[in-house]
Structure 1
């Protein structure tokens, strides 16, 4: 790709949080080659986009999702996590096949791309189908594979599948031109036991990769961890070596001061999922404390069955608001910090360190926001506009690795109508 975006307002999210008005972004191949308020003389570009009345920001990163759960959207609502998961979701998931997961993931990817997401972290089953969908659509993903199989013939079991995880890692890590990263999955400390936690940690060390885990999502998990292990979930993760590798920990709602210190010392990343945590009544994570401690905190949607969408603009907005209200402190969670959580912090957590900023030498992963909308006038602070005013539907253009995936809200190579048709038919089949 040889692309110039001109006349564009740029929120770089670089180390200086620089904002450029009416600037230029150049992309050569898959990397950003120019970020400037002026165009060097003599430069030639094969393709140009006029960015007038648009804002360029780094692509959003969804730090925790179960994308195929789009098939269960609006299915089981208004109940506690344990009831929702064990009595409603797990029985449905026991019926899933490769076809369900492929089309559910495709629907999730279409939804995410149309809301400005350029990368997502996914934890589910039939992960070969997730990798297939990622490869076909051009998005980036951190995909985790569990060394433990939970369902066999509809029964909840723990079966060692470590070799399958090794084979999956060898096949897919850095596949699709580097757009796929593979972590080891640990569903949670209440679904694993001490032996399987230690085995999963050892496997991640062996593969030189990270771990994606649900951690301390509910008060019930606090009780179960104290009962089963005699310590907190974070402490058992430390004991079993889980925190000896890069960790992407989703939720982290019920953490003690000691838990936070352990997570900081381990260099773990935490993914805040405000909508899902509120909808399931799980609580509100101590995100301001985590940020003050220097912990890398990103944002995620969780699955569409508990959100009920994959809208990262909504997550940024909610993350900026709930902590202000809960603490009665309007200075918490400033817009620039929340946008950082939704972009570069997420890229770091997922292993895409060369993404997350509009900066020369970084990957060409960015989105263009159409600001020619009533809710985005007048045009004062672009960062505040993105976090407090913008909607997912304002995403006009998505560029990943320098390739235009969507422009004028139309996909280049994805049949959006077919994806919705297939997913709808399979969802009705699954839930009846």
Structure 2
């Protein structure tokens, strides 16, 4: 196809020539027109790769990152080389170049890794509005220490640590890694004074995701967009990991409930699930986990442990008023007292809980609590209180006696 044929009646031959020589960039409308005449997509004309191919390359890059995380560094390296060769998208290429450098380091090809990380550092320093130099400098600190260049390792480490401190990052993986390498470098140089001075500042106990978010906001306020983007990505990564851990912990609590209830409870397995779930929970969810733990302990006959756990859950944090979580804890406490044949202690707890349940709004949760309360009153030999609790359960789901006579018959029964 000649330039005149491609230009048609809408464009001039000279304009096509200028586009071909790189002296003009076509507008989106012209790009679409040219793509139609050439039988390809506008994306292919502008970027040299079809959208489906781009998606394939992006998936390939992510698979390489997964391989690197799984310890398959050679597979990751080969894949990153393919991604770099196949795509000219700046962001994807940068991501693949970072992965390639990390794979080289993992393969102990440290000299090559240093060269790759130095290129990334130079790129970041030239374009601070797009990229942060922090990750490459931290990686270089580690690599220079590995090859024995302690002076360069300390210089770069102090630069990274200074920037992190300036932004208020007092915890998290970046601070931990650069501080770890610096401590090793100081000790290798027999500079125990500097090492001890550094340890005195490593006291950050804040939530890492919050620290990274606030640091990102500081970087944004000072116009350091590359740092702001990197730190925001770190905050998102930590927050998403925390969310996944919490979701898995909540699943374990639900699974434990299923294992404890019904015939032939598997309380030992439930106890194991609850123990691994607890560190990732907080607030009411942690209290609910403690309650289910106590329920499993009761099932296993470890009554004193169950009661101690429940009393701790009820005391921390102190609650101003009754709520379903507190009521549930009290019911399990009564169950434990019954299991050790202390009927009066159980009835004291049950009567307190019964009075408190009257203040809860009608709901399925309240109905479930009232039904369990009725079962425990029945087990304790207080039939009248059990009947009242069952009536409260029915009323909480909208079922009421049709007449006073029916209500009295139910009570008499």
Q: Structure 2 length as normaliser, TM-score?
A: 0.24
Query: Which is higher, the Rg of structure 1 or of structure 2?
Result: 2
Higher RCO, 1 vs 2 (CA within 8 Å, ≥6 residues apart): 1
Of Structure 1 and Structure 2, the greater strand share is in 1
Q: Which has the higher helix share?
A: 2
